[in-house]
A and B are shown apart, each in its own frame.
Chain A
Amino acid sequence: MSGTRVIDEASPLTQPSPPRGRGQGEGAGPYSLPGDHGLHRQLEKTWSPATGPLRWFMQIDHHVIGKRFIITAFIWFALGGVLAALMRIQLSRPGNTFLSADLYNQIFTMHGTTMMFLFAVPVMEAVAIYMIPLLVGSRALAFPRLTAFSYYMFLFGGIMLYTAFFLNIGPDAGWFSYVPLASPEFAPGKRVDIWSQLVNFTEISAIAVAIELIVTILKQRTPGMSVNRMPLYVWSMLVTAFMIIFAMPAVMVGSLYLLLDRLVGTHLFNVAEGGDPLLWQHLFWFFGHPEVYIIFIPALGMVSSIITTFCRRPVFGYTAMVLSQVATGFIGFGLWVHHMFTTGLPQSGESFFTAASMMIAIPSGIQIFCWIATIWMGRPVYKPPLMFVLGFVAIFVLGGLSGVMVASIPIDLQVHDTFFVVAHLHYVLIGGAVFPLLGALYYWFPKITGRLMNDRAGHVSFWLIFIGFNLTFFPMHKLGLIGMPRRVYTYLSETGWGQLNLLATIGSVVLALGFLTYFINALVCAKRGEFAGANPWDGPTLEWATDSPPPHYNFIHMPVVSSTEPLWHAPEHAPLVTGLSTTAKEVLITRTFDAEPDHRYTYPAPSAWPFLTALATAGIFLGLLFTPWAFVIGLPIASLMAVGWFWPTTPQKEGDAPQDSATASEAVA
């Protein structure tokens, strides 16, 4: 395709800014032109999602898949939360018999597996699937059919896991499945096989989404959005996506080895035959520690977005923030051994990992300081999203400090695998990721649904979650120090752990009420909330430059930006991109660093092939639990589906072009 200069800097504006609450297609403020309504109807037709009775299986629109992804992830989150509540009931008093040992072991394994593999990473990617094209000013997410495929793989994996659990064959060797406890000798049956396959399902999904995000961010940014003008949230997703691509293969190799040991009879982890159980730990934690940052870095981007909007000024220290995120991404790969300090590795080697683990506190610290500086210089507006961010700072700083503690080998020797670590990891994951996520969803809810959530209920849910969280998890620090190991289904009353455990259980009730309030608020307001308009919070980034909810094509005209906060600094006559076809699904591809327009690319039509390919792949994965022949039989079927997926379609008719060529020719280069 030939490069097309498509920037129009001279179009007169008929609509005054700022934009608020316009009807569909009337565009938003600086980025609209006369006659947009007709364009809107044409673009709606071109970009319309699949229709017909089988449309559910054919959608490839990033809004549709993004919403499904978010909702599915939250369903797993709710299930994981119920499991957590069951554990809290069991541990509320010593010697409780509410759950049997076997069920408890399944439940804590399911809780960890759900939260790490089915919620934390997927939900961050899910939000990005919806938001990133809007933030970078693109018509769609790259590789839309792959997006659909990754959603179905994620969905099927979760369904498989929970089906197994409800059939009482849920995995029970922990979310980390240490060998030899997870080896065939000590874990006969299908339980650990199901865990390993779940890892494969979700990691395929995660890597595919990461690729879509990287390509979208690097190649589909709107003109003018050079890398130094990318919103911090976009930066955070870029770093995260690269981390996913480097971290996830380690656990996939690990789970493949485990499956080979279990299903084919290799001895990769079997000491008696020359294998090594520590190999598993290295593979698992080489993924497992970066995973924490994969969850946490998107949250950093969300926090920056919210602080910018609700403190009414750009985040202090943009360059420092970006470099901190990138540094976190790199250092995150040098920490994994701090999960293995008790395995007796050489001391000098371990010290390196202590140093790295402490070093990662520096970029986190810088970001905290920059946010505080932003608040200091700004004018905070205490809406619920900002409250969640303030809660994040209060909790995450504490979790970061306990992280410095566990980075120290001698201290870790005491607190490793105790409730101290349970407290620490929930402080960094709930405090560091779930709080910003809840804030961000509250913030972007009007964009996604077109309606605002209820602020009063939002504040109530924030305080319940904040208080409940601290009541639940703060006592666990103390429990770990006074000797309570993790993953125990019960304890003796002589240990003296009863009171703090009861306190934690009471806290978890408050926490659960908080989550319930938040979700009910979201569910009710999705139907009955106040209309939001295009930009209810006066946000500065491009997602607010289009309607709420955004049309399927996102923007009538690609905006051309000249700052990190385009909507705050948009000149009255904002330059626009014109010349993209309205009758074909054309997306503007720009250059990686300076985002200069490069070429136009035509997107594929809705299709059921990604669904069928995912179905066939899932069939192979499930069949492998029973017979290796599943691979032999399933591979040709899956390949056939992929052939259907990639079958070339008739090239775009030339007749589409002239309609736009007029606009394009007028464009000032």
Chain B
Amino acid sequence: MTIVLMTGIQSALNPAGVQAEKIARLWDLFFWVSAVVYVLVMIFLLAALLRRRPEIVPNATSPRVRAAVSIATGLTVLTLFALLTASIFTGRSLSDVPERAIQIGVTGKQWWWHIEYDDTDKSKRITTANEITIPVGMPVTVHLQTSDVIHSFWVPNLHGKRDLIPGRRLTWTFSADRPGVYRGQCAEFCGYQHAKMALWINALPAAEYASWLEASRKSSKIPSTPEERKGQEVFMSSPCPLCHTIGGTEAAGKTGPDLTHFASRRSIGAASVPNRREFLAHWIVDAQHFKPGSLMPSMTLEPGQLEPLVVYLESLR
């Protein structure tokens, strides 16, 4: 198949992890078997249509045709059985869950992802949103929950999908074999903004992952410039803290994404808008433009408040 149109960051055909790799190999098998079967059937159909016929077509059924149909049926059964066997073996090997895996909590919300790295030591817990950072080569188990409707967690480069179902806690284990950024997206229709409920997976080499953990466990950066300080004031005096948490400040809302290390993230609005200054400013005053129906209201700010607020948020690395 052609690779020309592929960007590859959200593709089942471009596996970057062992699970996706196994599925892709199974896909290859099914694809080529199907291709051969299809071509054969079409050849027989064309031959049946175009073959030269005797002047008078005999009415009796020829035993050769009968044999051909029987053989084709037998081959169909054998082929299907072979495919079934391959499928079941692949399925089994996918469900081999390694004993030691990094445990990450993922909660689906209309229409974003709440991410938690749990730890027995409370100070080491990390809360973030719409972006999961994992070490290369280490199995990762995500614990999938939903706080509202059914969603489905799907990062095609790493693995197939698994649903997030109310009242159930499903797990899904995958790993990334090469460093990179992979995009995932909610795959179960979950309402108004289902289309804009995506997430990023950052697969980092072990050392970088360790330093990412280190940095993420810290509280938010304390404002260091007058503008950042003004921005923080704006944030705290606006409705923002009602919904958002910024670690180390009094902002502790739980309705929206945690913003403690907001500036380190790739995008806004569940991987639907790039996290750049112009978009961020626009998002704050008019989130409904980008993502109508999302819970983020379009904020009304006094003149001169937006600029420092953006500067403050951009300092939250």
B5 touches A373 (CB 8 A): no
**Given A375-B48, A409-B91, A410-B160: A481 touches B69 (CB 8 Å cut-off):** no
Q: Is A516 an interface residue when CB atoms closer than 8 A count as contact?
A: no
A362 touches B80 (CB 8 A): yes
Say what secondary structure dominates the interface of chain A.
Answer: helix
A372 touches B44 (CB 8 A): yes
Q: Is A159 an interface residue when CB atoms closer than 8 A count as contact?
A: no
Q: Is A369 an interface residue when CB atoms closer than 8 A count as contact?
A: yes
**Cβ distance A139 to chain B, nearest Cβ, rounded Å:** 33
Interface stretch, picked from B133-141, B180-188, B201-209, B219-227, is B180-188
B90 touches A376 (CB 8 A): no
Q: Is A485 an interface residue when CB atoms closer than 8 A count as contact?
A: yes
**Given A312-B57, A413-B23, A485-B187: A347 touches B34 (CB 8 Å cut-off):** no
Q: Is B272 an interface residue when CB atoms closer than 8 A count as contact?
A: yes
B49 touches A390 (CB 8 A): yes
B73 touches A375 (CB 8 A): no
Nearest-neighbor residue (CB-CB) of A402 within chain B: B34
B192 touches A313 (CB 8 A): no
* Complex interface bits, B37-66 against A, C-beta within 8 A gives 1, otherwise 0: 110011011011101010001110110011
B26 touches A411 (CB 8 A): yes
Interface stretch, picked from A25-33, A489-497, A612-620, A655-663, is A489-497
B48 touches A372 (CB 8 A): yes
B42 touches A361 (CB 8 A): no
Q: Is A408 an interface residue when CB atoms closer than 8 A count as contact?
A: yes
List residues of chain B with CB within 8 A of the CB of A278. Answer: 165
List residues of chain A with CB within 8 A of the CB of B51. Answer: 376
Q: Is A48 an interface residue when CB atoms closer than 8 A count as contact?
A: no
B149 touches A180 (CB 8 A): yes
Count: A-B pairs, CB below 8 Å: 237
Q: Is A527 an interface residue when CB atoms closer than 8 A count as contact?
A: no
Of the four ranges (under 10, 10 to 19, 20 to 34, 35 or more), the interface on chain B belongs to: 35 or more
Tell me the bound Cα distance from A410 to B92 in angstroms. 9
**Cβ distance B32 to chain A, nearest Cβ, rounded Å:** 11
List residues of chain A with CB within 8 A of the CB of B152. Answer: 342, 417
Task: Name the one of A271, A358, A402, A485 contacting B154, with C-beta atoms under 8 angstroms.
Answer: A485
Tell me the bound Cα distance from A358 to B292 in angstroms. 42
Q: Is B83 an interface residue when CB atoms closer than 8 A count as contact?
A: yes
B80 touches A361 (CB 8 A): yes
B187 touches A416 (CB 8 A): yes
Tell me the bound Cα distance from A481 to B10 in angstroms. 9
**Given A100-B292, A180-B150: A351 touches B80 (CB 8 Å cut-off):** no
Task: Name the one of A316, A350, A496 contacting B5, with C-beta atoms under 8 angstroms.
Answer: A496
Nearest-neighbor residue (CB-CB) of B26 within chain A: A410
Q: Is B103 an interface residue when CB atoms closer than 8 A count as contact?
A: no
List residues of chain B with CB within 8 A of the CB of A358. Answer: 80, 83-84
Nearest-neighbor residue (CB-CB) of A186 within chain B: B149
Q: Is A500 an interface residue when CB atoms closer than 8 A count as contact?
A: yes
Q: Is A169 an interface residue when CB atoms closer than 8 A count as contact?
A: no
A372 touches B23 (CB 8 A): no
Task: Name the one of B6, B91, B159, B195 contacting A489, with C-beta atoms under 8 angstroms.
Answer: B195
Q: Is A250 an interface residue when CB atoms closer than 8 A count as contact?
A: no
List residues of chain B with CB within 8 A of the CB of A313. Answer: 57, 59
Q: Is B237 an interface residue when CB atoms closer than 8 A count as contact?
A: no
**Cβ distance B30 to chain A, nearest Cβ, rounded Å:** 5
A369 touches B72 (CB 8 A): yes
Tell me the bound Cα distance from A282 to B88 in angstroms. 23
Q: Is B305 an interface residue when CB atoms closer than 8 A count as contact?
A: no
B57 touches A414 (CB 8 A): no
**Given A369-B73, A401-B34: A482 touches B161 (CB 8 Å cut-off):** no
Q: List 14 A-B contacts (CB under 8 A).
A: A100-B292, A178-B149, A178-B188, A180-B166, A181-B191, A358-B80, A362-B77, A377-B57, A405-B31, A408-B84, A414-B27, A481-B12, A485-B186, A496-B5
With A362-B73, A408-B87 given, name 10 new contacts (CB 8 A): A102-B292, A358-B83, A361-B76, A362-B77, A376-B65, A379-B53, A390-B45, A394-B42, A407-B87, A418-B187
The interface of chain A, by Cβ under 8 A from chain B, is 100-102, 105, 173-174, 178, 180-181, 186, 271, 276-278, 312-313, 316-317, 320, 342-344, 347, 350-351, 354-355, 358-359, 361-362, 365-366, 368-370, 372-373, 375-380, 390, 393-394, 397-398, 401-402, 404-405, 407-418, 478, 481-483, 485-492, 494-496, 499-500
